[in-house]
Chain A
Amino acid sequence: MNTDRDQPDKSRRSFLQLLPFGVFAGVFASISGAAFRFLRPRLSAPSDQWLEVANVTELSGAQPLAKKVVAEQVSGWAVTTAEHNVFVLPAKNNQVVSPICPHEGCEVMWEQARNRFSCPCHESYFAADGARISGPAPRGLDPLPTRVQDGKLQVQYRVNPDQERATQA
């Protein structure tokens, strides 16, 4: 009966039984540490590029005008060129609003007959000046930075207004 001598042998054995799992866990942890950095999203600063919308002389009337702008975006290893819709509000001193619904990011459309913007996804509605009327959207349509240069209205396009806050944080 060598119970005192058997005890350390037993605990040594149970430690050794865990060793292979420990090695696999160590390898997994080493690579996971690198993976954490490797998979971290790379946030790009909002573009400060001014994109041409239209000649100011063309912009008139009480209703929003749908326009297209072409913007370049650096996405990781690629520079992509994409066409985006924006709405110019001539009745609001040519303010330009984003068509992206502030609820879940669908693109709103202008319903001329009802004089309102409507979101096709979750039925949020916005007035002709972009203010929220009803639905789950938390606020009105987001205004985009604008300027007038050589008689042309220009805009800085933002895909996601939160992007600016995130990259500045």
Chain B
Amino acid sequence: MSRPLESVSHEKTNKIAAWLQTTGGIVAVLLLVQLLTGVLLAFYYVPSVDHAHTTVSYIEKVVSSGSWLRSLHHYGSQWLALFAFLHVARLFWNEAYNYHKAHWIAAVLLLLLVMAAAGTGYSLPWDARAFFSTRVAEGLMGGLPFFGRYARYWLLGGSEISTITLSRFFALHVLLTPFVILAVVAWRVFRARCWSNLNHNAIAGALVFVALAIWCAKFPAPLGPPVETATADYLPRPGAQFLWLYETLKHVPGALGSIVGVVLPGIALAILASLPWLRARRRSIGGVVLAAFAVVAVTMTVAAYWSDRHDQRTREQLARQAEQESVWRREPFTPTRLQSARTTMQAANSGGPPVLYIKFCVDCHGPHGEGARRGTLKFPPLLGVSAKPQRTVEDIVGLLKDPPAYGLQPPMRSFSDKLAEPQMREIAQWIVSLKK
């Protein structure tokens, strides 16, 4: 049974109603924007924890139009989540679950896929914000009942967050989810050939694109400090589409977070998708689910903004972070030095730094221990450090295990989880051999 959507709820579709039925066109335009900008960003992006932040910085600072295109991708994903939800709500209002099953199911699936794409994409820049969002995703998966532990390992690609994790998120974000999204869109187009208000949809899509383009020209997408230079007082904040989840998790104890963040939204979407097959009370069940979803999302998003604005310390710290980012944007881009295996071997054979120093320490302390500068942070040289008190080989090994015990503050962090004691000793012996 099929009939034009505009005739479903009321035959008299007035002009305002016609404009309210344009969410599909807006979603289509925003999906196109995500697809095009995503393909372009992949030309420069490298999914590795060593290079992801550098390549995103390169896109932001060096590549022509890079900042605008990344911004389109970043804010486009947030607008897409909003309009995908409004599209489901609009179809529900028109009772599409009764008359256009394919149309309805495609819209619900798209909402799920858009949120999944946003969730996996958030980790890719590998700034401090991305790192914490990956931690949250890990925690949410790990807290799932029955198979949580395995789901966590599967998502991470191992027992800890590593460069494999980033590769997984990249593959899920740029290959799997877009492929499924395109399949759903194609299914929707060929299965449910009903188009209402095509021109209104086109005009609304165009207007939203122009608004997004202007917004992105004015506000570049955020990029926090690299994970290894983030200070302990850094406050990560998710994108607008996940603020409701961030705020909700503040009020939910322990593993209940996984129920609230994964299980309940999953059940809600499953109920919405199965509405066409429910025998009775479709309207009331779907209405309750959508209303609950909307109330939680709006209330928690507003609460997240409100709590950040009303806590003075939080407000000041967020302002500091914004200022640091602004300073970072004005600084010229510094290319990263890649150590080829051959060069690393040569260094190891010629009294150069140990391989693990090159891996873990060189970014901050320089290839010869001369110190370095990253953004606004200046890292101390190690040359002649053995002349200072508390800097024997034993002290440096202890310092690598527990920096605060030796009076060092973040971004210097403990390497107990990365290096075995003999490896720390090898690095320490090389450091004490450095002369001014």
Contacts and interface: CB of A to CB of B under 8 A. Distances in A.
Contact of B51 (A22, A32, A77, A79): A77
Given A37-B64, A37-B65, A38-B64, A26 B72 contact: no
Interface in A61-107: 70, 74, 76-83
A81 B343 contact: yes
A27 B54 CA distance: 29
A19 B199 contact: yes
A38 B66 contact: yes
Given A20-B202, A22-B202, A27-B32, A83 B69 contact: no
B68 A23 contact: no
Contact of A27 (B33, B63, B338): B33
Question: Mostly helix, strand, loop or mixed at chain A's interface?
Answer: helix
B25 interface: yes
Contacts of A77: 44, 51, 54-55, 57-58, 62, 333, 335-336
Contact of B69 (A28, A34, A82): A34
Given A23-B205, A37-B64, A76 B44 contact: yes
- Chain A interface bracket (under 10, 10 to 19, 20 to 34, 35 or more): 20 to 34
Contact of B335 (A16, A38, A78): A78
A78 B338 contact: yes
- In the complex, the 3 A-B pairs of residues with the closest C-beta atoms, listed nearest first: A37-B64, A34-B65, A77-B58
20 contacts: A23-B206, A27-B29, A27-B32, A27-B33, A27-B36, A28-B32, A28-B36, A31-B40, A34-B40, A34-B64, A35-B36, A38-B63, A38-B65, A38-B66, A42-B62, A77-B54, A77-B336, A79-B336, A79-B338, A80-B340
Interface of A: 16-17, 19-20, 22-24, 26-28, 30-32, 34-35, 37-40, 42, 70, 74, 76-83
Given A35-B69, A37-B64, A77-B62, 8 more contacts: A23-B205, A24-B32, A27-B205, A76-B62, A77-B333, A78-B338, A79-B337, A81-B337
